[in-house]
Amino acid sequence: MDLQVSLPTIESLMEAKVHLGHLAKHWHPAYKRFISGKANGFYLIDLDMTISKLKKACEFLVQAASKGDIIWVCRKKHLSNLVQNLAIQSKSHFVVSRWIGGLLTNFDVVRTSINKLIKLEQTFEKGVHDRTKYELMIMKREWKRLYRSFAGVKNLTKKPVALIVVDPVFEYSAVIEATKMSIPVIGIVDTDTDPNLVTYPIPANDDLISSVSVILEPLSKAILLGNKGKGVEHQLKDYSNIQVQILKTANDYQSSDDNPDFASEVVIISSDNVEENK
């Protein structure tokens, strides 16, 4: 197919240090076909293979994204913001904090926790009825726990058509679940990783931000080509630092028919401020 995504050049890959692998003693034998040489005790990655495999992954993603949703997975802290931003730009789902076991293999059960997160956010938007400041704090604490795990997949309603992972060994649980569910996996694989773990291995350094970025950006553009910008729309809001209304109904006081001044009360509470309005 005629790929309409610009791929990086050998020079740009060299500049991003994509070719720098791990120490030779930490290599995986199945990676041999992706190695071009050795320098100072480190294996060097064949960048021609990198471009070839990246092109195949992009071609697959254009087709896949036209049929369904993609999930990006990267829990490495120094790379999580990069991956989250690319996932949002490409209208895709993401997991950058914690992989919840069963997200793919037992989705109906996991969905109950996602629904709880959505319900909490809807409650915060409308206002919390008949709760104390302490109870609101507990609700926000529960929201924070759920948000950490499900923020990037709360709009997921069906089996994704593909996963993109940075370092299949680090994301082994996600890769295994995808394999069990026959979901293709695109993965950035370094010299210490078995490339056979994933469906579409892309040989590259999987730790340097510059390397991961130059590989993932074409993947993001390929997804946008496939879904035509009509994928997932994320609504990410930090409710732990946002004022939430506590609504006390008229039933807490005298009847509004007897005394309209006591018809309702709204108390706006934030983590650092308490304000009453009657």
Instruction: Return the axis-axis angle of helices 77-89 and 209-227, rounded to nearest 10°.
Output: 20
Average pLDDT over residues 163-183: 97
The structure tokens listed for 144 are: 């924070």
CA distance 144 to 240: 7
Residues in Cβ contact with 21 at an 8 Å cutoff, skipping those fewer than 6 apart: 27, 35, 42, 43, 44, 45, 190, 191, 192, 205
Q: Pick the range with the lowest mean pLDDT from 68-82, 170-184, 224-238, 254-268.
A: 254-268
Instruction: Give the count of beta carbons closer than 10 Å to the beta carbon of residue 55.
Output: 16
Sign of CA dihedral 169, 175, 180, 185: negative
CA-nearest of 82, 83, 99, 87 to 170 is 99
Mean pLDDT of the residues in the chain:
88
Mean pLDDT of 177-200: 97
State both tokens at 61.
Answer: 């993603």
Q: Which of 61-70, 232-241, 254-263 has the lowest mean pLDDT?
A: 254-263
Q: Looking at residue 249, what is its pLDDT?
A: 60
> CA nearest 205: which of 185, 188, 187, 218?
188
Query: What's the pLDDT at 251?
Result: 53
And the tokens for 111?
Answer: 């969905």
pLDDT (0 to 100) of residue 276 = 37
pLDDT of residue 105: 96
Q: What is the C-alpha to C-alpha distance for residues 174 and 164, in angstroms, rounded to an integer?
A: 10
* Termini Cα distance of the chain: 66
pTM for the whole structure: 0.85
Q: What is the pLDDT of residue 250?
A: 52
Beta strands in the chain (DSSP E): 20-23, 35-39, 42-45, 70-73, 93-95, 128-129, 162-166, 185-189, 200-203, 244-248, 265-270, 273-277
Helices 209-227 and 47-65 meet at what angle, rounded to 10?
30
**Structural domain boundaries of the chain?**
10-107+153-227, 113-149+241-277
CATH class of residue range 10-107+153-227:
alpha beta
Closest by CA to 163, choosing from 183, 182, 177, is: 183
Q: Is the pLDDT of residue 253 over 60?
A: no
Residue 104's pLDDT band (boundaries 50, 70, 90)?
A: very high
Tokens coding 4: 């309409």
Which alpha helices (H) appear in 73-169, and where do they start and end? 77-89, 107-126, 133-150
pLDDT for the residue numbered 261: 44
How far lies 18's CA from each of 51, 166, 202, 231, in Å?
A: 11, 13, 11, 30
